Amino acid sequence: MKRTFAVVLAGLAAAALFAGLVHAVLVAAHVSEPAATTVQGLTPMRLWATASAMVALVGVVIGGLALARPVSRVGTASGRLGATAALSAGLIAIINGALNLAVANGGPGTGNGVIGAAAAFVLGLSALALGGLALARRHRTALEPRHTT
């Protein structure tokens, strides 16, 4: 029961932190004011932002798996390949999210995809951090001397 409560509490804290970071990115990009009229449906800018956010989410998952799995395991999400994939996906998402925010001429509801772009930016930073940690851990364990008995 205590573990379930701790997991739920950690999930809520992570969601609140994510929402706060997305809001901070929107304020920093000066696109935090909602639109007077709301645009419905999928626009090209929203599609771009959503695709960037999905690339970032894949990068976060791969980075988390590369960080969690031992180096000796074989697979695309472990070791150097997983860390490099997370770094690449994070960098792509950060660039696309920042570009989308730079060309947006309005805030949420204008059809410019600013919420998705801010989410892609924040998730891209997370993927970059996880990939960097996994790569550093892999590099550190490769340098450690092996003890044979």
Domain residue spans of the chain: 2-29+42-143
- Residue carrying the six token digits 């059809």: 111
Would you tell me how many other CB atoms lie within 10 Å of the CB of residue 108? 17
pTM of the model: 0.81
Residue 79 backbone zone (phi > 0: left; psi -120 to 50: alpha; other: beta): left
Residue 86 contacts residue 59 (beta carbons within 8 Å): yes
Please write the tens of the pLDDT for every residue from 16-62: 888 888 888 888 888 878 777 788 888 899 999 999 999 999 999 99
